[in-house]
Amino acid sequence: MHPTDTRERSIHDAGMDDVPAIARVLGRAFYDDPLYRWFFPDDETRMARSIRINALLAGFVHVPAGQAEVLRVREGDRSVVRGAALWTPPGADAQGVASLLRSLPHWAGLVGPRRVPRIMRYFAQLNPPAPKEPHWHLAVLGTDPSVQGTGVGTRLLRSGLDRADAEGVPVSLETMNPDNIGYYERHGFHVFHVLEGPEIPTTHFMLRPAS
């Protein structure tokens, strides 16, 4: 799709009916992401498992709490989800962890029971010393490959950043893909912590100060 695509686009709060579409979009968006390659080393099954794991994240954690937005694109007579952003608001970390724990029984079937402890240890390390102040956290931002490079992701990102700016709070995120660092830096983020290890994907923690 050409970056000058002018089809009608609109951002909406996601509902539970959107979870399957969110899962499909994010599954396709992150098929080659280092984290998903670590989660699911088998190329042949990664797509299906990526879709299922994003259905868990969206359906158990973010959408029920009103913490997800989708961008719809008008395609003929249909309005199709082509991008999604999953957020955690200030002060909601404990609630998000509890929701994630409720989804754990489903993870074993996706990653294999032997890998669950390793993945949980990795998740436990996603808690660096900063930022200590209340902040929004961008858990997942992804767009369908058919619209990547057309501004869909930026529209979704700006929606969340504008909300954080209105509240006067920072925004944090983690990325395991070094190609994403420059993109987020252009939107005011900087790397403040790097998590590395022999058996985990290198993870860059980024922060955008309050403005």
Which pLDDT score, from 0 to 100, does residue 123 have? 76
Distance CA 108, CA 209 (A): 37
The CATH label, of 3.40.630.30, 3.30.1540.20, 3.30.390.50, 3.40.50.300, for the domain at 9-152 is 3.40.630.30
Domain layout of the chain by residue ranges? 9-152
Q: Is 26 helix (H, G, I), strand (E, B) or coil?
A: helix
Distance of CA 118 to the CA centre of its chain: 21
- In this prediction, residues 174-187 reach a mean pLDDT of 96
Residue-wise pLDDT tens digits, 120-133 = 788 777 776 667 88
Residue 159: half-sphere exposure toward Cβ, Cα within 13 Å = 21
Which residues in 57-83 are b (16+ Cβ under 10 Å) and which e?
A: bbbbbbbebebbbbbbbeeeeeebbbb
List, for residues 83-137, the tens digit of each pLDDT value. Answer: 999 999 998 764 445 555 566 666 677 777 777 778 878 877 777 666 788 999 9
Residue range 56-80: mean pLDDT, rounded: 91
190-195 and 203-208 beta bridge pairing? antiparallel
Closest CA relative to residue 187, chosen from 204, 167, 171? 171
Lowest mean pLDDT among 5-9, 39-43, 100-104, 144-148: 100-104
- In sequence order, the 6+-apart residues with CB closer than 8 A to the CB of 183 are none
Q: Tokens in use for 170?
A: 């920072």
Among the residue ranges 27-31, 44-48, 82-86, 126-130, the one predicted with the least confidence is: 126-130
Is the previous residue joined to 145 through a cis bond, with omega within 30 degrees of 0? no
Contact 46, 37 (CB under 8 A): yes
Structure pTM? 0.87
User: CA dihedral defined by 181, 196, 137, 90, rounded to 10 degrees?
Assistant: -140
